[in-house]
Structure formats: structure tokens, C-alpha cells
Amino acid sequence: MQTLVVVGTQWGDEGKGKITDFLALQSDLVVRYQGGNNAGHTIVLDGVKYALHSIPSGILNEQIVNVLANGMVINPKALIEELDKLKGRTFNLAISDKAHVIMPYHLELDAIKESLLSEKIGTTKKGIGPAYTDKAERIGLRMGELLDPLLFEKRLKEIIESKNKQYHLYGLNPLDTKEIYEAYMSYMNRLKPYITNTSLLINDAIKAGKKVLFEGAQGTLLCLDHGTYPFVTSSSPTAASVPLNTGVAPWLIEGAIGVTKAYTTRVGEGPMPTEIDNEIANYIREKGHEYGTTTGRPRRIGWLDLVLIKHAKLSGGLSGLAVTLLDVLSGLNELKVCIAYELDGKIIDHIPSTVSDFKRVKPIYKTLEGFNEDITTVKRFEDLPNNAKAYIKFIEAETELSIDMFSVGPDRNQTIIINKIF
């Protein structure tokens, strides 16, 4: 494949950053296509940990062009802080002139709107929802507009007038246009060299036969359309959203690898049918370091739920799977895998469209035997203990997807290829 999408099949945090970092070794471009710094990508290279939020996972490789495409929302201040952490490294970055800009009022409105909800979404409070709201309402600002100081000043003045009316209703102090203008002009001085038409850049690369990896943030169940609405993010992490969010024709996207943990995690609120809250959950949380990269929150833990993967395959498209954190399951006597749900006495193998129905589903499990061996040094599928192999084979049979890779630890050399797809 020349173009491949990396998609989360669960509620985010599937280890996509690590899989992307690995696949990026063979890529010429790595493209983030949605979301913003609500995401967290932890990459370990030579024992050094890099926590990335908006920057694509290919950034540690200086040969790769890393693109922040038009479907993203970008907080310039946070992006500069991230770039500062890469000091001393050479990198190649391109930011879409059509990507929307996260403004200070988006952060404040994110917090206040969430505080007014009786049932909280549990957002990352990075201003993602309000920034996408402004985009849809046509009162957003795009990176390219900020390159023109006069245009930016004019539009900012108008927007702030309207935001201040909203602020008044919420009892907040009015925003200071001049202060925001000056701060953003200084951010743009720093970011200006990277801003360009990234649709042209990606299309030219594809035409020239270069390899392009599209890196999804969050996961399918957090998709605004196909996720567990309203407990979702405000963009679509699916492969189906890539063409629109990057300016590339749909038929140029050749495949999508769905990343799944060997179990399930979720941060924030909302239903999670296979959630467990016992000593097994604690064991998995501690062994898998299941605390949010962006917020530090402990993640909710559950057994692997294959209904989610089937849903990701159906709604956004998957051509194969990558299973991460398989090593975390070693030491458990038995492994439960959810293969379907029961809802009102009926067996279903899809996700109900309302959250209230989704909350009521009961998982139907198949129990497999666990494994005790330390698998963190395994280099080939054949070297896995039989029960770990059986676990992988069971996922393949149930989802009718091939498992093309799996990982047994955080380092790049702990990712193992079964089928070379890219």
C-alpha cells in the first residue's frame, strides 16, 4: 500500500502513536487529519519518552514530512510548547492554512459549558468542541487568515464582540481584543514558516509515488457521527473522514489499519459494556500505565470488546488490525472477550444508536485461557505462548480481519509485524 490510515477502534489511547511511529519508518509523510491537542501520543525512542499532542508521530524522524491537515483544530501556543520540547532535533513540519485555530475563549467556553451539563462529557478542556462549533457556525479563524494581520484584526474584532455577548450571559469578564491579537501575532511569527496548502503537498507526494500515512487521533467510538454520542469528541477519527479532512480523493486511500488494545480502556464518561472495577482492572491499569497522557486521569478498564471493532470496521472501514499491549495480559488466569451484547433478551452484534440503550447492553463473553510467560522480548508471532497465539487467532476469526501487527512493550523494537502491509 502507498497510502494507509491508522485508526483507533476503541475510545482512543489504543497505542496509535506507537504503531504510527513504527509505520512512519517506511513513510515519506505522516498526516494528522482531525482533532487537536486533546490527543496524546507517547512515543519511546532509545529510552526517551516523548509526549506529543498535536504533532504527528513521524516527527522524531527527520526524513519525514509531518502534516497538520485542514481537519485539525490547532492551539498555536500549545503547539509552540510542543515544538520547544523537540529542541535539538531536526524535524520537518507543514501546517494547513485551512486548519482552524483554537482561541482562548474556546478553552473557557469548553470548561463552562461542561460545568453546566448534568451528565458530563468529561472533555479534555482543550477547547476542541467550541473550536469545531465556530468552524460549523462560520465564525472560526483559520491558520492562513492569521498570516494577514489586517484581515485577522478585522475578523477578530467582530468575533470578540459576539463572544463578549456570550461571555456576559455566562457572567464572565469580557475578552480583550488587543491582548489576544498581540499574543496570536507573536505565535504566528514562530509558526509562519510551516503554514502552507497541505492538500497540494499531500497530493503531489502521492502523485510522486511517496508513501503517506494518515494518523487518526482518538478512536471510532469517539467519532461525532459513529461514536457513543453525545459522549464523543467533535470530529471524526474514522478512515472515512480522511479525504475531507486532508483534501485527498477517497479513492487514493488504499487501506486502514485499526489499532486495538488487547483489552479496552476509556477516559471520560459514557457507557463501556465490558468495564471491570476489581483487582484485575487494577492489575491492568498499573501494568499498562493506564493514566491519560493529556490529563493524567486514571483510565477505566475493561475486557476486549469485539463488538467495538466490528463497528469500527463497518462504519469507517478497516483493512486489518494491530493489537497493542498484549504483554499487559500476561499473568491473568483467564481472558474474557466480548463477542456480542444482549439487549432486552435479544442478541445483537452492533452498537445501539442511543446511549440509553448502549448503557443497558450486557456483554456476552467467550472465556479463553490466559498466559503467564513474559512476552516482552518476543520477536515473532511463532514465539508467543500458545494461549497468546490462540487469543490473537480468536480475534481474527471473530472480526474477519487479519492481525497484521502486534506489540509487546512501549519501545519501537517491541512492535512485531505479521503481514507486511505498507
Sheet holding 300-302, edge to edge: 264-266, 300-302, 275-276
Q: Cα–Cα distance between 375 and 110 in angstroms, integer?
A: 42
CB hemisphere CA count around 295 (13 angstroms): 14
Q: Cα–Cα distance between 387 and 373 in angstroms, integer?
A: 10
Q: Cα–Cα distance between 89 and 13 in angstroms, integer?
A: 26
Q: Cα–Cα distance between 176 and 168 in angstroms, integer?
A: 13
Q: Cα–Cα distance between 280 and 388 in angstroms, integer?
A: 18
Minimum separation from the CB atom of position 290 to ligand IMP (A):
11
Per-residue buried b or exposed e for 335-363, using 16+ beta carbons within 10 Å of the residue's own CB:
bbbbbbbeeeeeeeeebbeebeebeebeb
Minimum separation from the CB atom of position 15 to ligand IMP (A):
11
- What 3-state DSSP class applies to 254? coil
Minimum separation from the CB atom of position 172 to ligand IMP (A):
20
Minimum separation from the CB atom of position 124 to ligand IMP (A):
3
Minimum separation from the CB atom of position 128 to ligand IMP (A):
4
- 277: burial class by Cβ within 10 Å (0-12, 13-18, 19+)? exposed
* Residue (144 or 270) nearer to ligand IMP, CB: 270
Minimum separation from the CB atom of position 103 to ligand IMP (A):
15
The contact set with ligand IMP (CB under 6 A) reads 11-13, 38-40, 121-124, 126, 128-129, 217-218, 222, 231, 233-234, 267-268
Q: Which helix (H) or strand (E) holds 115?
A: helix 104-116
Q: Cα–Cα distance between 337 and 393 in angstroms, integer?
A: 12
C-alpha cell at 268: 471520560
Q: Phi and psi dihedrals of 51, rounded to 5?
A: -100, 105
- Find the Cα–Cα–Cα–Cα dihedral 52, 53, 57, 60, rounded to 10°: -40
Minimum separation from the CB atom of position 357 to ligand IMP (A):
19
Minimum separation from the CB atom of position 242 to ligand IMP (A):
17
Q: Which residue is nearest to ligand IMP (CB)?
A: 268
C-alpha dihedral sign at 304, 9, 300, 374: positive
Minimum separation from the CB atom of position 34 to ligand IMP (A):
10
Q: Cα–Cα distance between 308 and 189 in angstroms, integer?
A: 43
**Could you confirm whether 411 is annotated as catalytic?**
no
* Residue (215 or 404) nearer to ligand IMP, CB: 215
Q: Mind giving me the DSSP string for 189-205?
A: HHHGGGEE-HHHHHHHH
How long a stretch of residues is the chain? 422
- What 3-state DSSP class applies to 3? strand
**Could you confirm whether 383 is annotated as catalytic?**
no
79-85 LR contacts (CB < 8 Å, sep 24+): 79/37, 79/54, 79/55, 79/191, 80/187, 80/190, 80/191, 82/37, 82/52, 82/53, 82/54, 82/55, 83/55, 83/190, 85/50
Using alpha carbons, list the distances in angstroms from residue 326 to 30, 192, 289, 329: 25, 42, 13, 6
The residue from 21, 41, 106, 305 that is catalytic is 41
Residues catalogued as catalytic? 13, 41
